[in-house]
Structure 1
């Protein structure tokens, strides 16, 4: 038999495993129990075979395997097994596909995971146990904090953190800090204080004294006196015993700059204003141990007596000169301070540089000398490190002599054409371009302007606005017609509270918010309402730049320009002049507006990338310093010159602190203004404090063109008063400026004595004056405590605090105190009464004396007929009532049966009647008409029997312009009726009025 046909046994398909793998471990035997596989398996030694279940058992000698077993290679399950053997089993493969080795590996891995989880759980349990303990300790910490036994917890915790201590050590510190000092020994105190701790401590020390600061140190853990005094950087100021000298002012400037860090870096310019204001002081002589001089004399006459205190004869000579009147004790002190125009609260707070007493007898030219001294000292000390401080203005309140001095010194040169700011300001029509040295301009405080604007509405003479006379009675009537209560209106128009800035704002706010008159309100009421609205708009444009936080610098200047042009229109129209506004008030407002434009122009040249803060102009920062001084000295007494000099510098620190922490301070109520966030008047949440940090608008000077702002303001003013366009054109033709609207320079023109006299009828009944018995002596017989301190610890040991009198050593301070006791008695302890005296007006009766219920009455603004004389002839005048007086009482209404009473006096303004036209009266029934805006002369205190109430016909043919209509017959009847009731003596009481273009009334110019 041939060998090729020989049959041999078929061993099956041999499965070859990768090197290092064993078939017992790698092959998935469990798969045979789960799937019906077409093969079986067996092994021989190290070989592993798969045999088909249909294997023929034999095969030819040429072949190792039969065709059935060979077919296993093509099976998909076999291929997957080989793939898993070669490349490993996927983690997501079911367990039956795993070989025994894979299952062992998987079980081991799972066991490892279980062990890790078991250990993790054990660790977590341990951690939770420790955390529970820690939470308990933290709860103890919370209870310790809540107990309040440790006042300064923050420094204590900080100390523990710095020492990397745990909660147990921290609680131990707290326990030591809260220990009973009487039983357990000294208490633990954490060292180190925050900036707020130090600032609060300084506030307590400066305002409340060392006793209060020490109490707070012991009770609340604030810094002690030694620590607080170490952090003081401003030295005490030196008060000038007489007229200040340049050297004295320079020494005071150095006093607050010596403790400041010297600025470094590139050179830069900061603008500043010099603020001047007076504060009332005790008329008291004090010894200054630093200079050995007697303080308290007025600078005006201090040259008449030697002020150095050498021996007893010097003190006796000083008081002898006081007795003779050659020198006076100062009633006020002039305080001068720098105020930087900067956003940084460290810089913009006031820096006092001069304190000088005055008796208020100083002339304007003498005050100009003081201004020159201050300006020279400021120039000598303008460089501080890399910073050059440039003085741009001198600011003051509305005091007349100071205003004259400012004008003499800082408006004496025309702005030179070579000045860098000349191109910016020359195009401003009506702008006054006179300046002082280095283009310095004077300034007036905004709050004072607001107070005087309110005062105009209380003026007895009233306000002539575009021919209409606004009296206080008319103001009251319209405010009450707008829904305000009698009590609120009385408060707004109370002449005894002229210094209340908040009332000034509220009154102007009520006026610019008045609604338009209704068609049936009558022509006179409508004319009054329009006049009051125009005045309210003037107040609006004066106020908004200083209280609206969202305004940009451009919008602020447009508001001021609008106010300036409105003032020109109202002051110049029909030559109103002082009948509209006192010269001094007009000039002060214009000075304020002019200075704002000049300061912005200077900033554009010197600091083009800077912001400009309008609210930093004026003297408001100095007023706030005065409030702190009064708080430190006591609210019921005035500071004396010595106290002012020793405390003003210290209280400057308080100003800086309150600027850094404005939410700590409510501010003086009487000078506080609300902050609004838009021009609708919506009050801001920061209403208690207006500072550079609270401003929201774009205040960069680079984005402002003064000429454009000035022109925009003019257009707005002409829109408010359309007839003002003609007035401004006439003023432009005359080449006038803002200080000469009528052709004459108003800066040096005095006002009439009654220019600021308030209407006595506005006074509310005041509380009964108290009669405080005067003490026997001004001071304690044992001596003043501050004098005793000066004796005990003299600041300058080179000056002896004693003199020898009759062999006895007496202190200089006590000698002056004893000599003062013999000169005067103590005034009322109420500071306001001591400074201002009793109210300017006293209420003798109230408006409630006369009632008019259910009886015919005469009201303010009612039309009347009256007899007047003009060029020695009697004429009938139709007028409107602007004041009613019965005896010494001013009334809003008067029963007609009291009109003829001898005590009744009526003040009125004549209406300008014109012939009626067909447009006015198509039926031709009426001969005369009167519409809005036509007024003639004013008559004051006319006897009531010379007038007759009228009830004219009101026409509303022209919407928004109601008019009165009259017939000649009715007017003649009224005139004859009044004349027939007069006695011969009454003709002497008929008021006389000047002839005008329209009065006496006439047809066709006859």
Structure 2
């Protein structure tokens, strides 16, 4: 009898489960998983769950409560597709509505720059976009701060901001004297006359200034200003000082100190960087001095609070490849120039290359394509192991120079693109490059590379070393990665801005400011759910290796800052550079006797001493013709 009852109960339960499966399989119920999860938490039976599914099909029941992913998906849909698309998907798939995500999300709004750049808008953006956003997200603790700057093209037109009753879209440099508030019809005519006379201009581009926190992927825009591209180095100095002042006032005690300013190699920003961030010698009682003073050749000049400037390594690699592809080429040894003609002969010796592939390497369709630049660099590196034909003396001589260039590029490029390299190995290779380029630049000057390219590269390496030392001082368990140096996050941000406009790159200043805030929301979603993001093909530097796009979170080797011995690795780089020069160059040993050369004010950024920075002088001027540029002042107490 008991067995019969048990069998009957079992059969009834099987029937209940069968009806549940049929209900799920035959009905398209939005968010059925959420409905079942809620019912189980409430202790509902199988029959009750089946009944609730039936009610949901009839529109009598809707599921409440959304996951973080569902809220973020709705936010992404809203920013990329607009309110109408979100409404449709809310009713079709049960995703959160705009009102629902509005209760949980902090929509970012960036204050526009109307007229000259003011401290008010910088302060407000730092407070709202950075401090308040991080507080709502529960992100606390101090980090090293990187200030990044870049431009995005906008339509040259005036726009009206109703909330300010002002005309925007005019260049911030020259619009300070105009009545931008539309009080009368005459105000509009005054602006038209100024545009006609050329005393003010439409903004050609929008300058975006954003901050990034060490060991975090997101960036936070703090300035979006229209520019006519007529700014000078003095204007950049003024802008840098305003940003530093605003940050110190609003966010430094909460978020951390600015470590460096990163740009793409703009000439005026370069000069401003030398003026502000090569100003004070690091004092002997500074904790960083105890380590960095043992790194022979490293320039120890900084700005206030040990701030530095740096340059995007992607732009540096592209400029190196542009130099190699020019007829004038790059002189690496004994007056022999590596240019497209000599390099093409050598590249054809590689087993995987023929006339067509070599032509593509040296004449890419898009010179700004980072993967194409890396393809060329990797091909040159491969030539180190190629044997020259014994019957061609000229080709053998060219190959010797290319081998030296291969060692140079290997130690510059691989630290940024090889996730199998640890932080210690990165520093060692960058030290090797710094020593090699120092010797070659002193010997061949502009035949080797331009003053600006040499200075930018050495500046970037200096900043990476300083960043590692600062991270060790802040938190030795924190990560530091050479790959993180540069402005690439801002370029990715511009891609989000275009996505927010339906991939329409044409936008006026008002639209650009709005999309700057939208891009912040989009980036936040992608940083929380990286599998949702399709990386830009052109910016995906690992395309050539067929891997996922690189960042510190996916770096395979050890990049914990505390595990890197800067002094030891810098010294190993020096030894490696000496070995390469002995084997592959015709320079006499005194040319790379670093202990004898690196004294009396000579370092890698000042290869001739005398406070002369090559990146700060014109290519047409030699060191002897250039006046002493005393950029140093006693550090303030």
Residue 741 of structure 1 aligns to a residue whose secondary structure is coil
Contact persistence 2:349–2:386 (CA under 8 A)? no
The 1-side partners of 2:164 and 2:592 are apart by 58
Give how far 1:659 is off: 1.6
Give how far 1:501 is off: 1.1
Name the structure 1 match of 2:314.
Answer: 447
**1:806-855 Cα deviation digits (max 9, x unpaired):** xxxxxxxxxxxxxxxxxxxxxxxxxxxxxxxxxxxxxxxxxxxxxxxxxx
Residue 747 of structure 1 aligns to a residue whose secondary structure is helix
Contact persistence 1:283–1:296 (CA under 8 A)? yes
* Paired residues for 1:215-614 under 5 Å: 215-256=88-129, 257-261=131-135, 268-342=141-215, 345=216, 348-383=217-252, 387-466=254-333, 467-482=335-350, 483-494=352-363, 497-514=366-383, 515-520=385-390, 522-572=392-442, 575-614=443-482
Residue 428 of structure 1 aligns to a residue whose secondary structure is coil
Q: Which structure's residues are more often helix, by fraction?
A: 2
The 1-side partners of 2:263 and 2:548 are apart by 24
Q: Could you state the TM-score of these two structures normalised by the residue count of structure 2?
A: 0.90
**1:441-475 Cα deviation digits (max 9, x unpaired):** 10111211121122122123111111221111222
Structure-2 change in CA distance of 1:542 and 1:290 (3 Å): farther
Structure-2 change in CA distance of 1:496 and 1:158 (3 Å): same
The 2-side partners of 1:464 and 1:333 are apart by 38
**1:118-159 Cα deviation digits (max 9, x unpaired):** x56435533442343245224414523xx6x22422222223
Residues 1:728 and 2:592 are matched in the alignment: yes
The 2-side partners of 1:133 and 1:171 are apart by 11
Contact persistence 1:151–1:220 (CA under 8 A)? yes
The 2-side partners of 1:429 and 1:279 are apart by 39
Q: Which structure's residues are more often strand, by fraction?
A: 1
Name the structure 2 match of 1:623.
Answer: 491
Name the structure 2 match of 1:177.
Answer: 56
Decide which of 531, 534, 537 is 1:663's aligned counterpart: 531
Contact persistence 1:281–1:640 (CA under 8 A)? yes
Contact persistence 1:152–1:220 (CA under 8 A)? yes
**1:7-58 Cα deviation digits (max 9, x unpaired):** xxxxxxxxxxxxxxxxxxxxxxxxxxxxxxxxxxxxxxxxxxxxxxxxxxxx
Structure-2 change in CA distance of 1:636 and 1:592 (3 Å): same
Give how far 1:653 is off: 2.0
Q: Cα RMSD (Å) of the superposition?
A: 2.5
Decide which of 106, 111, 126 is 2:8's aligned counterpart: 126
Residues 1:739 and 2:605 are matched in the alignment: yes
Name the structure 2 match of 1:797.
Answer: none
* Paired residues for 1:947-962 under 5 Å: none
Name the structure 1 match of 2:570.
Answer: 710
Contact persistence 1:411–1:436 (CA under 8 A)? yes
Name the structure 1 match of 2:44.
Answer: 165
The 1-side partners of 2:339 and 2:535 are apart by 34
Q: Could you state the TM-score of these two structures normalised by the residue count of structure 1?
A: 0.58
Structure-2 change in CA distance of 1:286 and 1:543 (3 Å): same
* Paired residues for 1:43-58 under 5 Å: none
Structure-2 change in CA distance of 1:560 and 1:121 (3 Å): same
Contact persistence 1:282–1:640 (CA under 8 A)? yes
The 2-side partners of 1:439 and 1:481 are apart by 48
Give how far 1:732 is off: 2.8
The 2-side partners of 1:142 and 1:513 are apart by 59
Contact persistence 1:269–1:607 (CA under 8 A)? no
* Paired residues for 1:11-26 under 5 Å: none
Larger Rg belongs to: 1
Residues 1:153 and 2:32 are matched in the alignment: yes
Contact persistence 1:458–1:495 (CA under 8 A)? no
Residues 1:651 and 2:511 are matched in the alignment: no
Structure-2 change in CA distance of 1:491 and 1:188 (3 Å): farther
Residue 209 of structure 2 aligns to a residue whose secondary structure is strand
The 2-side partners of 1:508 and 1:698 are apart by 25
Structure-2 change in CA distance of 1:527 and 1:127 (3 Å): farther
Unaligned runs of 5+ in 1: 1-118, 180-185, 676-680, 754-1006
Deviates most, 421-430 or 209-218 = 209-218
Structure-2 change in CA distance of 1:205 and 1:480 (3 Å): farther
Structure-2 change in CA distance of 1:332 and 1:521 (3 Å): farther
Contact persistence 2:108–2:521 (CA under 8 A)? no
Residue 323 of structure 2 aligns to a residue whose secondary structure is helix
The 1-side partners of 2:539 and 2:619 are apart by 27
Structure-2 change in CA distance of 1:631 and 1:550 (3 Å): same
The 1-side partners of 2:432 and 2:375 are apart by 21
Give how far 1:263 is off: 9.2
Contact persistence 1:511–1:536 (CA under 8 A)? yes
Deviates most, 539-548 or 657-666 = 539-548
Residue 223 of structure 2 aligns to a residue whose secondary structure is strand
Residue 260 of structure 2 aligns to a residue whose secondary structure is strand
**1:604-663 Cα deviation digits (max 9, x unpaired):** 223344332333332111111111001212434333221222221231121122122211
The 2-side partners of 1:653 and 1:129 are apart by 52
* Paired residues for 1:920-935 under 5 Å: none
The 2-side partners of 1:329 and 1:534 are apart by 48
Residue 398 of structure 1 aligns to a residue whose secondary structure is coil
**Residue-pair matches, total:** 609
* Paired residues for 1:777-788 under 5 Å: none
The 2-side partners of 1:207 and 1:695 are apart by 30
The 2-side partners of 1:530 and 1:663 are apart by 45
* Paired residues for 1:765-776 under 5 Å: none
Give how far 1:369 is off: 0.8
Structure-2 change in CA distance of 1:150 and 1:561 (3 Å): same
